[in-house]
Amino acid sequence: MRKLIYGLILTGVILIHQTAPFAGELSKEGEDILTQALAFKGYEDAICQFNLRIAIPEIDGNEAVDLWGTLIKHAGDEPLPTILVATPYRREFLVFDALTLFPRGYNILCIDIRGTGSAEGTWMSFNEAEHKDVAFVIDKWIPKHPWSDGKVGMLGPSYMAIIQIMAAGNIEVDENGEPVHLKALFPIVPMADTYKDIVMHGGNLDLLFIPVWLLGVDLLAMMPSTLYLGGENAGMDGTWEDPDTHVIKEAGQNWLASVKQLQLNGSWFLEPENLVDNDFFDERSSMIYWPEKNSTANFGQTKTIPSKLPVFMVGGWYCIFTNGESKTYQYGLAEHDVKDKAMVIGPWYHLDGSFCLGVDGMMMFTNAVQARWFDWKIKGIEDPFMVEFPVALYIMGEDKWRAEKTWPLAESRVENEILYLSKQKAKYNYKDWFSFFNRKNDYKLTENITQKDYSKTDPVLKHRPQRNLQGMASRSMSRWFIGVPAIISQTYKYMFGKDVDDQVFYEDERLDEVGVLTFTTDPLKEDVEITGPMKLTFWAKTTFDDPLENTWLYKFLDLFFLVTNNDLDAIEDENNTVKMLTEEDDVQFVVEVNDVFPKGRAKNITSGWLRASHRPYDPDNVHETDPEYMAFDPFYDKADRNPNMINENEVYKYVVEVWPTDNVFKKGHRIRVSISASDFPHLLPIMVPCDNTILIDENHPAAFEFTSVNQDDEGVTWKWIEEEGKYDPLTNYLMNHKN
């Protein structure tokens, strides 16, 4: 077993540092393998203490537990700052996320959070105990050691990014609001609202990412504990201590506890009470630590991310957390000084965004930009960058990086625009087969509504789940599978400079959208840039048929229950979540915004989702919108906490919020908005056939609202990033520019 663990660790080292030369030949002995693996150029003085016990006391009623950490520190007596990575994904692998910062004068510590890896306790995924555990490590455990100078930075993607923000809400600050020990964060692709960002999109259960994620966590939990390598004092400092009997017993107990809790993992998202937003999700949302508070969306939390804690954040336009990334910068860092916050949003999915693919300075293989940020913010080496323009955005369509003063963009840069859904047919494009095959459902998206539009028949969205479910032949499949299907094309594009997008299925929505309602503009007479979130407002009435037999769907869901180690018989229970969501008389409205090329290719730019029962309804008139509702308000959650079912043949007003983006629709291209009633396998489908009539008349204008961008104030509020040098423009910019 020890050799197996050594081999896995060594594989990680080699993958992360495949271009670095070894200082000598590898020994056959396990200890020597690990020592030699770190003995690269710049790593000769590395001392690795692989298993360090971190005793967490009882904090605010949370059970005391022992966590375990791996420390890679410099030899000698000089105390140095520490880069901390807190993970549920096994510290023996994730310690390498920060390893290239070691030669820059940092010690590296990676810890298993409670209930994962070798750690004691129960994993409850972002619950309050986790927030406080990590804060304790930062403020109490690290500073007490002689190798620490008391200063700490954090980095990491996804889960490791989210826990940074949550820990930051619990750290010690002095009388001036300055963090005492935690000096800088570098969260990559984090989320903000667990319910809206990942579990229930517009009230629809995520079916693709959650099982994949839980399967990954389950597989990692099955791996042997690193405690079998040695006890509390085991390390690579010249002495090796075999594991004591009590440590071996502890390792076995923790492993068994991890296996037993696998069933609990899936139940988080299968309990009927978790179909609505509630305290369970609030506690697990980093937005509870934003400076702006809300009584129902902040879990009663009064703590806040310190405004003097520097944060450099990274997001992706196709990431599963795009919405949370942009809102964390807008709201979570609202009180930060401009010199203490920065954000980069690239053309990435979640997977490649975690590596900042194509930006050499931010990839975990180099960590150069992180080092520059930490050197400035932790070590106090004066090197201001990302101050004048703290936001860097990849502008799709232009395929260039642009620096901005603010996010959202400065008011002088933007204008509010409206395009209307029409009853007129879209302009026929003889070069595009879709214009023929979807002619019946392809309507015009127009700047003006004329009386002529109203004389025609209202569009009808037909949902026939027995025949077809939209989503498979779509970017949705790739996006919500964290970008795994797109990794080859993304690698070609951003590392080798070869664009093969037009050759892959998820870059053209036409096959997926035959049979759904599409609304398309005429060819644009000039470039149109759309930025930020969008919304589609419309009125509709619905008729339902009897629910379908869900035999085939249950077979698919067997995999979900198997992955989450839940009782497969649970789907036979009349009150189970799956039955409730699939057999209700409800509608799943899916809105996509596509960039249509001259020959017809329809590239998805962004999407939005809304379950009819989760519309922002007025409690006094459920057919209308709540007067208190404001689109894109992250704190509005009334409908998600108290859904309202619709009745047949009654007209309801719907507002679908579409996730943010920044795309230039080029001259000659067309803007398309599509409406479908499924997004499978991203979302659990509704298996009730229905017809949805979209009303379009004087009293019911169907409107697509967005923000367009002008080119005013260049050099004042924005500038193109066109740095020349050894790397790509953004890498050169991030590593070399000043202010």
Strand runs (DSSP E) across 380-475, as ranges? 391-395, 400-404, 414-425, 442-446, 460-463
| Residue 40 covered by a domain | no
Binning pLDDT at 50, 70 and 90, where does residue 576 land?
Answer: low
Between these two residues, 28 and 420, which has the higher pLDDT value?
420
Residues 61 and 147 placed together within one structural domain of the fold: yes
The per-residue pLDDT for 221 is: 82
The per-residue pLDDT for 22 is: 28
pLDDT above 90 for 199: yes
Residues 375 and 425 placed together within one structural domain of the fold: no
Residue-range definition of the domain harbouring residue 682: 416-477+505-709
Residue 709 and residue 409 in contact, taking contact as beta carbons nearer than 8 Å: yes
| Residue 483 covered by a domain | no
Structural tokens at position 74: 């410099």
Residues 422 and 291 placed together within one structural domain of the fold: no
How many Cα atoms sit within 13 Å of 429 on the Cβ side? 25
| Residue 303 covered by a domain | yes
The contacts of residue 78 (CB under 8 Å, 6+ apart) are: none
pLDDT above 70 for 311: yes
Q: Mean pLDDT, to the nearest integer, of 531-548?
A: 95
Q: At which of 363, 384, 405 does a domain end? A: 384
Residues 437 and 375 placed together within one structural domain of the fold: no
The total domain count for the chain is 2
Residues 563 and 703 placed together within one structural domain of the fold: yes
pLDDT above 70 for 39: no
| Residue 638 covered by a domain | yes
Which backbone phi and psi does 240 adopt, to 5 degrees? -130, 130
Give the rounded percent of residues in the chain with a pLDDT score beyond 90.
Answer: 69
d(CA 520, CA 592): 12
The per-residue pLDDT for 17 is: 43
Q: Mean pLDDT, to the nearest integer, of 505-520?
A: 96
The per-residue pLDDT for 253 is: 80
Maximum distance among all alpha carbons in the chain? 86
Q: Mean pLDDT, to the nearest integer, of 75-81?
A: 94
Residues 471 and 352 placed together within one structural domain of the fold: no
Which backbone phi and psi does 714 adopt, to 5 degrees? -60, 135
| Residue 464 covered by a domain | yes
- Report the mean per-residue pLDDT for the chain: 88
pLDDT above 70 for 485: yes
| Residue 727 covered by a domain | no
Binning pLDDT at 50, 70 and 90, where does residue 545 land?
Answer: very high
Q: What angle do CA 180, 186, 192 make, to 5 degrees?
A: 95
DSSP letters spanning 236-280:
SSS---PPPHHHHHHHHHHHHHHHHTHHHHHHTTTSGGGGS--HH
pLDDT above 50 for 99: yes
Q: Comparing 196-205, 463-472, 553-562, 603-612, which segment has the lowest mean pLDDT?
A: 553-562
Residues 443 and 339 placed together within one structural domain of the fold: no
User: Taking the CB of residue 500, how many other CB atoms lie within 10 A of it?
Assistant: 14
- CATH assignment at residue 311: 3.40.50.1820
Between these two residues, 158 and 122, which has the higher pLDDT value?
158
DSSP letters spanning 156-186:
EETHHHHHHHHHHTTS-B-TTS-BSSEEEEE
- CATH assignment at residue 654: 2.60.120.260
Binning pLDDT at 50, 70 and 90, where does residue 6 land?
Answer: very low
Structural tokens at position 473: 């032949």
Q: Mean pLDDT, to the nearest integer, of 600-625?
A: 98
pLDDT above 90 for 85: yes
Binning pLDDT at 50, 70 and 90, where does residue 27 land?
Answer: very low
| Residue 663 covered by a domain | yes
Residues 281 and 134 placed together within one structural domain of the fold: yes
The per-residue pLDDT for 248 is: 75
Residue 391 and residue 406 in contact, taking contact as beta carbons nearer than 8 Å: yes
Tens digits of residue pLDDT in 206-235: 989 988 888 888 788 888 888 877 645 444
| Residue 737 covered by a domain | no
Q: Mean pLDDT, to the nearest integer, of 120-129?
A: 92
Residues 342 and 468 placed together within one structural domain of the fold: no
- The helix/strand/coil state of 52 is strand
Residues 110 and 228 placed together within one structural domain of the fold: yes
The per-residue pLDDT for 50 is: 83
Residues 538 and 686 placed together within one structural domain of the fold: yes
Q: At which of 328, 362, 384 does a domain end? A: 384
Residues 360 and 232 placed together within one structural domain of the fold: yes
The per-residue pLDDT for 272 is: 80
The per-residue pLDDT for 18 is: 40
